[in-house]
Amino acid sequence: MIYIKNKSEIEKMRKAGAFAAKLLNYLAPFVKAGVSTLELNDIAEDYTKRHGHRSAPLGYKGFPKSICSSINQVVCHGIPKKEDILKDGDIINLDVSPVVDGYIGDTSRTFFVGTPAPEIRQLVEDTERAMWIGIEQVKPGARVDEIGNAIDDFLSPKGYGIVRDLMGHGVGRNFHEEPQIPHFRMGRKLAKIEAGMIFTVEPMVNQGTWEVNFDKLDKWTVRTKDGKWSAQFEHTVLVTEKGYEILTKED
């Protein structure tokens, strides 16, 4: 079932989205060579708690930490660790999902650590552009598969692999609600988009194959099958009468 949010739920989602964006902005200057992903996790958790909120990932289906931190060939759901120390040339996606007054804001960005290789900079820039191209399809009367079609038409000619195993999702009181939002061409019609829906657009884009592996031991970390690098950006988006509103805007 796809929830259509009412006025008061939308207001709460605006607050949750705004806090998620503020949290990611707060983390940004700490992303530097020498910092561990556990330190970034702890900075995020402290900031969230200090504002009276909590982190949706912590304990979600057994996830052990407060944010996801995904370096280089890690596609998503990387678990923060003291051994994972950022170095010059890395890229890292930080995905934050705070719970504010019962509602969840979900947003992520891929950051450069120092100076990236030119093709890595291109990957990250193309991934962010792909997210925006997907978001630009959002309006009442369109269908969610059209988001995937537009992203696929932009990325596939450039030779990238678009992750198929994980998709965008409805979000609200629950971390993951219907509908699923594909970032690739599925070749069939999916749910109609209606005003009052809230969902994420969060393409995961690989330099090489779209195929991924799930870590056998920790059951969370998703890596590219070929070891090439992967980038991701994510916003939480409200469908309005005219189109969309970004709930996790950075400004």
Q: Residues touching ligand MF3: how many (CB under 6 A)?
A: 12
Residue 226 annotated as part of some ligand binding site: no
Residue 97 near ligand MF3 by CB under 6 A: yes
Interface of this chain with ligand MF3, residues 194 to 223, rule: CB under 6 A: 200, 202, 220
Q: Which residues contact 178 (CB under 8 A, 6 or more apart)?
A: 1, 2, 169, 170, 191
Q: Which does 160 bind (CB under 5 to 8 A by kind): Co ion, ligand MF3, none?
A: none
The piece of 26-34, 60-68, 145-153, 221-229 that touches ligand MF3 (CB under 6 A) is 60-68
Task: Identify the sign of the CA torsion 151, 152, 153, 157.
Answer: positive
- Contact status: 63 vs ligand MF3 (CB under 6 A): yes
For residue 111, which phi and psi values (nearest 5 degrees)? Answer: -105, 150
Q: Give the burial string for 134-167 (b: 16+ CB within 10 Å, else e).
A: bbebbebebbbbbbbbbbbebbeeeebbbbeebb
Q: Which does 57 bind (CB under 5 to 8 A by kind): ligand MF3, Co ion, none?
A: ligand MF3
Nearer of residues 23 and 86 to Co ion, judged by Cβ: 23
Report DSSP letters for 111-163, one per residue. Answer: EE-S---HHHHHHHHHHHHHHHHHHTT-STTSBTHHHHHHHHHHHGGGTPEEP
Per-residue contact track with ligand MF3, 9 to 48, x per CB under 6 A?
Answer: ----------------------------------------
Residues that bind ligand MF3 (CB under 6 A): 57, 60, 63, 68, 77, 95, 97, 106, 200, 202, 220, 234
Q: Which residues are annotated as a binding site?
A: 77, 95, 106, 169, 176, 202, 234
